[in-house]
Amino acid sequence: MKNGGHVTGGITSGDQSRFHEFLVENFPKLTAGSELRFAGVELNGREPTIRVFNNADDRTPSSIMRGDHETVLLQGAHDFESNILPLGVSPDRLYEAMIERDAAHSVPPDHPLNRIFEEQVHDLDSYRCFLSDHILTAMKAADLVLILGPEGCGKSSAVMSKVHLLVAETDFPVFISSPSYAQAAEKRQEFEQIYQGTQFVSFEYVSLTELYRRCCPPGEYISEIDALDMGRSSWLATIFHEQPEVYWKMRQYRDQLHAIQAQGQVPVLFGVHETIRRYADIGMTRLFYARGFDERWFDSMAPEVRRAYWPWGMGSTT
């Protein structure tokens, strides 16, 4: 269904119709509080393109969202401060959500939450109240839950206020993501005010590339191309061998996460959307933060030995 980050393969007119109906129902949840309105969607076999009206008077939906981009490119007359409007979820992800919903049939159409939402939610304030009151119920409704809502509607605040209950319900980590690291820092501050003096500790879960950028002196960056030119097995291995002082700064930062757990506290992770998406792909960032990771990874080893070494599992990663 996905290839190189885009929706592909076997798209029919029925898929187009289903996706249109899915967006008619769900896209307004992303744009509550604004005049943006869903106009239509195109599935051209490569990536979905969502077209949007800028306001009630707009008759030419030239503003678009496309592929794995989480922002609306605003074109034509509008009242927004910028020509880029973040919504926090991409057309690709919305299409996947439709497929997952249809495949799982986990929440029947007459689920009580649907009726409560229709009765109680009319604007951003009522949206925030709904999320605060019902987010735990929503998360228990299925193995996979996609909560759609515009920036500022209170999704993160609702999760943060219930972290102590969420942790009791699952063995998996709680990861609160934001469009940017600056916004993630704001959410961390809010979280720390709520849980100061408790067992819950916030941790900024930065991507491997962002961590390297923070630890490496300007002008000394090693790129992926540089690593290939040096003949190293990976970009991280190149940093380990060529910039050991930088690598150990990165390692010390990562070790703080496991120190929280070693002290019997519960880390709650804060980062950006892209990092949590890549986490699901089991990439190098997740590898680096895994508890079982160490510098043996940089040794030469046969592929089957490396696969056996791969340090996954909830007991070894966060």
Ordered by start, the domain boundaries in the chain are 1-105, 107-151, 162-309
Vertex 116: Cα angle to 111 and 121 (nearest 5): 135
Element holding 63 (H helix, E strand)? strand 63-66
Token representation of residue 242:
């060529």
Q: What residue type is assigned to position 166 of the chain?
A: L
The DSSP letter of residue 234 is S
Answer with the residue of higher pLDDT: 283 or 249: 249
Judged against a pLDDT cut of 80, whether residue 267 lies above it is answered with yes
d(CA 205, CA 248): 17
Terminal-residue alpha carbon distance, the chain: 28
Q: Is the pLDDT of residue 242 over 90?
A: yes
Sign of the torsion formed by the C-alpha atoms of 99, 104, 110 and 116: negative
Between CA 124 and CA 130 the distance in angstroms is 10
Task: Check residue 217 and give its pLDDT.
Answer: 94
Question: Quick check: pTM over 0.85?
Answer: no
CA distance 161 to 176: 12
pLDDT, position 254 = 95
Q: Confidence band (pLDDT; 50, 70, 90) for 309? A: low
DSSP annotation of 173 = P
Tokens 């309105």 identify what position? Answer: 37
Residues 6+ apart with CB under 8 A from 24: 38
pLDDT (0 to 100) of residue 263: 92
Q: Which residue has the tokens 């106009």?
A: 39
Phi-psi label, residue 76: left if phi above 0, alpha if psi -120 to 50, beta otherwise: left
Q: Which amino acid is at 186?
A: E
CA distance 288 to 157: 29
Helices of type H across the chain: 13-30, 91-104, 112-120, 124-140, 155-161, 163-169, 181-195, 208-215, 224-230, 235-242, 244-262, 273-279, 284-289, 303-309
Q: So what's the pLDDT on residue 130?
A: 84
Q: Which has the minimum average pLDDT: 107-116, 152-161, 190-199?
A: 107-116
The stretch 276-280 carries a mean pLDDT of 67
Residue listed under structure tokens 């009151």: 133
